Amino acid sequence: MLGHGQAGNTKLVKQMNRHLLISRLREYKRVSRADLAKLTELSRPCVSSLVDEMIREGLINEVGVGESKGGRKPILLEYNFKAKGVIGAVFEGSTLHMSIADLSGELLFNYGTRLSQPTNGETAIRALEVGVDVLLKQSGFDKDHLLGIGIGLPGITQRTDGTISYAPSTGWMGLPVQQEMEARLRIPVFIENDVNLMTIGEFHQGIGFGVRNQVHMYVGTGIGAGIIVDGQFYRGFREAAGEIGYMMIGPVGRTRRGEYGVFERNYSVSGITEKARLILTGWNEDTSVIAELMRQSEGGNREAEQLLEDIYVHWAHGMVNMISVLDPELLIINGEMVNIGEQGIKKLNQLLAEWVPFVPPVKVAALGIKAGIIGAIQIVLEALT
C-alpha cells in the first residue's frame, strides 16, 4: 500500500509537517530548528516558518541557547507541555478518581470523591463536573486550555456513539455519557472501558513503555486481557478482544446455556476463592487469596501448595494460549497476579518455557491504581495531539 487512502492537498501537507515537528520535539525534548530540519528531513526555511507559527500559537517555546558546535549557537526549542491540560477520570466502585495532566501526560493534581448512593447516571455526571472545576482551579488552567477529558467506565462502552451498552454493576445502562459531558463542558470527551485503560496506561507510562506489541493479563473478579498491536490498543470486531475469561482452561463441567467463561470460573479470584475456602484455615477473605495460599503453603499446608501449583499451571495455560496466538514482545500481569512475587514469576517462566519455544519476558504491572487514570489521559492525547 503506497497510498494513504486519503486525498492530499497543501493543507494536509502542512498539518502533517506540523505534527511531525511536534512529535520529534516531544521525543527529543530540547532541540534547535536546525536539528529539527535534520530529524524530519524538511528544509530549514520550512521548519523555521512552521516553528514560528507554532510559537505564536503557544505550542512551542524558545528556551535559551545551546552549546555551539563550531558555529552560531542554536536556539533551543521545547514543546510547551503546559499549553493545555488533560483530565482523566476513572470510576472504581462507588469512588471517582480524577487527575489533571499536562500535554506530556504527567499528572499534576489529583482528586477523589465518593459517589452518593445509589449511584445513577446523573449523580455520576454531576460528580465529574465538580471534579473538573476543582482540578482546573488547583492547576490554574482555565477552561479554554483544557484539551479534553478521558473517562474510564466499567462494562462495555459503545465507542462509536459514546453510550454505555452494557454495565451490569452500575445503573448506567444506555447512558450517553460522552454526549452529555460534551454538551455540558463543551470540550472533547472520550470514554473507554476501565480495564482497557489500565493496559493503555501501563503501555504509555508503566512497565510496558515503548514496547509496541504487548499483552496484559488481568486476574480479578473476572479474567481479561488487553492487547497492544503495533502501538495500538486492539479491540476486535465486537470490542470483545481479550475476553480470555471464555478460554477453555480447567474443568469444563456442565455448561448451562448463557453461563460462559470456563477459565474465569476456574481461575479468577472468585473461582480460586471458592476452592481456597475449603483449604485455608483462618483466612480473612478481605486479603489476597494468593498471598494467603503462599503463606500457608510455605507453612506446610500441602493442599494449599497443590492448589497454588494448579493455579500457576492454569494461569500459564492461559498465557501460553495468548502467546501462541499473538506472539507478543512482552507479557504483563496485573490484578491478583501481582501477588505471586519473584518466585511465582520464576515458576510461571519455567512453565511457559516447557510449552512454547518463544517465551516473551513476563513483567508485573507497575502503575497500580494510577494506570487507569493515566490511560484515560493518554487516549485523549493520542486522539488530539
Partner DNA sequence: TTTGATAGTTAAGATGACTAACAAAGTGTC
Partner DNA sequence: GACACTTTGTTAGTCATCTTAACTATCAAA
Q: Which residues bind DNA (CB under 7 A)?
A: 7-11, 13-14, 17, 32-35, 41-46, 48-50, 52, 65, 68-75
Binding flag, residue 257, a second copy (CB under 8 A): yes
Residue in the block written with cell 497454588: 308
The answer to whether residue 34 forms part of the interface with a second copy (CB under 8 A) is: no
User: What span, in angstroms and rounded, lies between the C-alpha atoms of 179 and 186?
Assistant: 10
From the list DNA, a second copy, none, partner contacted by residue 291 (C-beta under 5 to 8 A by kind): none
Q: What span, in angstroms and rounded, lies between the C-alpha atoms of 185 and 89?
A: 14
H or E segment and range at residue 355: helix 341-355
SS3 category, 378: helix
| Residue 186, binding choice from DNA, a second copy, none, Cβ under 5 to 8 Å by partner class | none
Q: Does 124 bind a second copy (CB under 8 A)?
A: no
Q: Minimal CA–CA distance to 375: which of 190, 247, 214?
A: 190
Q: Cell numbers of 112, please?
A: 477523589
Residue from 18, 159, 275, 295 touching a second copy (CB under 8 A): that is 18
Binding region for a second copy (CB under 8 A) out of 16-24, 72-80, 108-116, 136-144: 16-24
From candidates 61, 123, 213, 349, binder to a second copy by CB under 8 A: 213
Cis peptide leading into 118, omega within 30 of 0? yes
Number of Cβ atoms within 10 Å of the Cβ of 81 = 15
154 binds, among DNA, a second copy, none (CB under 5 to 8 A by kind): none
Q: How many CB atoms lie within 10 A of CB 190?
A: 23
Place of cell 481479561: 224
The conformational region for residue 313 under phi > 0 = left, psi -120 to 50 = alpha, else beta, is alpha
CA distance linking residue 172 with residue 188, whole number of Å: 21
Nearest approach in angstroms of CB 18 to a second copy is: 8
Contact region with a second copy (CB under 8 A), list: 10-18, 48-56, 92-100, 109-117: 10-18
Position among 161, 327, 341, 368 found at the interface with a second copy (CB under 8 A): 327
Answer yes or no whether residue 159 interacts with a second copy by CB under 8 A.
no
CB of 60 within 8 A of CB of 77? yes
Contact 78, 63 (CB under 8 A): yes
CB of 114 to DNA, least distance (A): 50
Q: Does 357 sit near a second copy (CB under 8 A)?
A: yes
User: What dihedral do alpha carbons 201, 205, 208, 211 form, nearest 10°?
Assistant: 110
For residue 119, the minimal CB distance to DNA (Å) is 48
Is 64 or 231 the residue whose CB approaches DNA more closely? 64
Q: In whole angstroms, how close is the CB of 45 to DNA at the nearest point?
A: 3
Nearer to a second copy, 84 or 370 (CB): 84
| Residues at the interface with a second copy (CB under 8 A) | 1-10, 12-20, 22-23, 40-42, 213, 225, 227, 229, 234-249, 255, 257-258, 260, 262, 317, 320-329, 354-358, 360, 382-385
